[in-house]
Amino acid sequence: MSFYALTALINAITSTVLGLFVYFKNKSAKTNQAFALFCLSTTVWSYAYCFWQLSNNADSALFWSRVLMAGAIFITISYFYFVLRLLNKINKGKKILIFGFLAFSFFFLANFTSLFVEGVRPKSGFAFWPDTGVLFHPFILIWFFYAFYAIYLLFKSYFVSTGIKRNQIRYILIGTVIGYLGGATNYLLWYDIPIPPIGNWTTTFYLGIVAYAIVKYELMDIRVFAAHILIIALNLIAFAYIFISKTFGEYIIKTLFFLGVLFVSYLLKRSFDQEVKQEQELKRLARKLEKANRKLKQLDRAKSEFISIASHQLRTPLSAIKGFVSLLLEGSYGEVNKKAKEALKKISTSNERLIVLVNDLLNLSRIEAGKMQYDFDYWQIEDIVQEIKDTLLLEAKEKGLYLKVNFPSPPLPKIRIDGAKIKEVISNLVENAVKYTKQGGVKVGFKQKENLIRIIVSDTGIGISRDEMVRLFSKFSRGKNISRLDANGAGLGLFVGRKIVEAHGGRIWAESEDKGKGSRFIVEIPINLDELKKEKKRRKIQSKGVKKFVEEI
């Protein structure tokens, strides 16, 4: 097979594949239809071109050169139509388009007479090159007119378009110019200019780039596309090979080979289609999930807003109750008898619990809205723990538990924290330890490790199972059957605590051997977060410097 026959075959295969691909990618899109039409012209031209090159007598060469011209005649007009569709200018170019189709239809009819192609004769190493008939000259003028007009329209739109469209037009312009320059080398020998059609192969490039530009923005699956192209190309090559057989036996063998390729391709295609179907189903599900997720987020936001508003509304009456109950207990409204005092104390305890719950809910909504505010200052952590002990000692004693604090000596350095918030965190840990311990008691210890301080709350209580440990610090997470021990918790304290500690650049975690074996809660906070950050940065720069130094030597 000669170089020209081979390039024509490649052009033919590419235009068939790309034409079909673009068409089936979006059958109802007018631009895709127009491109398929254009590919039809190039396909007819290219296949016939290949057979013309393979012809071994003048009659067959003349026949195939007329067929190839039948395709070539419609190339620029169908391309012009494609450009009008692409640029949405079909109404503006309608008249000129109709004129073109009529003119080229006329040349199409003339093509089968000697007025268009006179005959074939040897030229520049080609055994059968066609000669022009009289009608060929006006044809070539009109043909180039439509090619240039399409390029002109593309250029014009390129300068006024933006974004994706501009990119698309750029690709198409590059492809078109290269394709026409290369394709036009076919006409030189018709006019006895001794230059062979060296640019014929550029058609493949041209079609490829235009097809790419059309579908690129439709997000095609390149893997599936490549697989399909391969299958179709294999079949076309196997099919084309049948026609270059010399003996009957060769015909039979090649036909059988082609049928074999066809069968294997069918199996491959089936499995591809299944995969594509599954992928599409997955994409559909992913979209559905995304939608559901958006809705859930909306609901979550609404819920957070509701909690925030409700908690604010609840806080005022709770504070009023707290104030009046303590005034009553102090005897500001006259002497209160013992029985009433007991009742008032119960009211006060319940009210305190409610205040903690409302505070947790408020903190939760602030954390979720990213609106938690911190007021950093220097605090002596032992003082905070002392205050917590003072508040909770009575409760522990009433339960028959000890509550010990091992104060360090010498005292720890002051740490930069939001004292009120860290107090909330440790207070919740100690309160929990008292709540979830039946015998024994609670110990609070301290540790300093370089620029980190640890506060450790350990108890001899019910312990934590492995399952519970996993979600211990999550929102609304409470232990199994824990309501029996304490009906008032909401499972928010540890979650809020974790968020607060993390905002201080620290960590919080729990340790427990198992249920019934007591627990340890450890809060680790940097002495000065800003200093820690600076130190980390310094070390990073230092290690980078060392690395660079090592690299240099």
Contacts with ligand ADP, residue ranges (CB under 6 A):
428, 432-433, 436, 459, 461-462, 464, 472, 477-479, 482, 489-495, 519
CA distance 515 to 492: 21
Q: Which is nearer to ligand ADP, 47 or 436 (CB)?
A: 436
* Shortest Cβ 310–ligand ADP spacing (Å): 18
* Shortest Cβ 497–ligand ADP spacing (Å): 7
Q: Which is nearer to ligand ADP, 213 or 464 (CB)?
A: 464
Cβ(49)–Cβ(69) under 8 Å? Answer: no
Contacts of 211 (CB under 8 A, 6+ apart): 18, 21, 22, 35
CA distance 294 to 513: 41
| Beta strands across the sheet bearing 452-459 | 402-405, 441-449, 452-459, 519-526, 507-511
Q: Which is nearer to ligand ADP, 208 or 445 (CB)?
A: 445
Q: Which is nearer to ligand ADP, 131 or 431 (CB)?
A: 431
Token couple for 7: 């390039």
* Shortest Cβ 479–ligand ADP spacing (Å): 2
Q: Which is nearer to ligand ADP, 168 or 311 (CB)?
A: 311
DSSP state of 414: P
* Shortest Cβ 533–ligand ADP spacing (Å): 29
Backbone region of residue 106 per phi and psi (left: phi > 0; alpha: psi in -120 to 50; beta: other values): alpha
Q: Secondary structure of 197-239 in the HEC alphabet? A: CCCCCHHHHHHHHHHHHHHHCCCCCHHHHHHHHHHHHHHHHHH
Half-sphere exposure for 269 (CA within 13 Å, toward CB) = 13
* Shortest Cβ 434–ligand ADP spacing (Å): 8
* Shortest Cβ 485–ligand ADP spacing (Å): 8
DSSP strand pairing (452-459 vs 415-417): unpaired
Q: Which is nearer to ligand ADP, 438 or 538 (CB)?
A: 438
* Shortest Cβ 408–ligand ADP spacing (Å): 22
* Shortest Cβ 378–ligand ADP spacing (Å): 28
Q: Which is nearer to ligand ADP, 366 or 414 (CB)?
A: 366
Secondary structure class of 460 (helix, strand, coil): coil
List 145's β-bridge partners, or say none.
none
Q: Which is nearer to ligand ADP, 358 or 433 (CB)?
A: 433
Cβ(1)–Cβ(32) under 8 Å? Answer: no
Burial 153-175 (b: 16+ CB within 10 A, else e): bbeebbeebeeebeebbebbbeb
Cβ(16)–Cβ(29) under 8 Å? Answer: no
* Shortest Cβ 463–ligand ADP spacing (Å): 6
Q: Which is nearer to ligand ADP, 153 or 492 (CB)?
A: 492
How far from 23 is each of 171, 172, 208, 219, 438, CA to CA, in Å? 19, 17, 14, 15, 77
DSSP state of 332: T
* Shortest Cβ 436–ligand ADP spacing (Å): 4
* Shortest Cβ 490–ligand ADP spacing (Å): 5
CA distance 278 to 285: 10
Backbone angles phi, psi at 128, to 5 degrees: -135, 85
Cβ(532)–Cβ(451) under 8 Å? Answer: yes
Cβ(292)–Cβ(353) under 8 Å? Answer: no
* Shortest Cβ 477–ligand ADP spacing (Å): 6
Q: Which is nearer to ligand ADP, 57 or 483 (CB)?
A: 483
| Cβ neighbours of 342 (radius 10 Å) | 11
DSSP state of 551: H
CA distance 131 to 400: 116
Chain centre distance of CA 254:
47
Query: For the packed helices 419-435 and 493-503, what is the interaxial angle rounded to 10 degrees?
Result: 150
DSSP strand pairing (507-511 vs 519-526): antiparallel
Q: Which is nearer to ligand ADP, 100 or 493 (CB)?
A: 493
Cβ(507)–Cβ(524) under 8 Å? Answer: yes
Q: Which is nearer to ligand ADP, 153 or 434 (CB)?
A: 434
Q: Which is nearer to ligand ADP, 140 or 456 (CB)?
A: 456
Does residue 122 have a cis peptide bond before it, meaning omega lies within 30 degrees of 0? no
* Shortest Cβ 455–ligand ADP spacing (Å): 14
Q: Which is nearer to ligand ADP, 269 or 353 (CB)?
A: 353
* Shortest Cβ 218–ligand ADP spacing (Å): 51
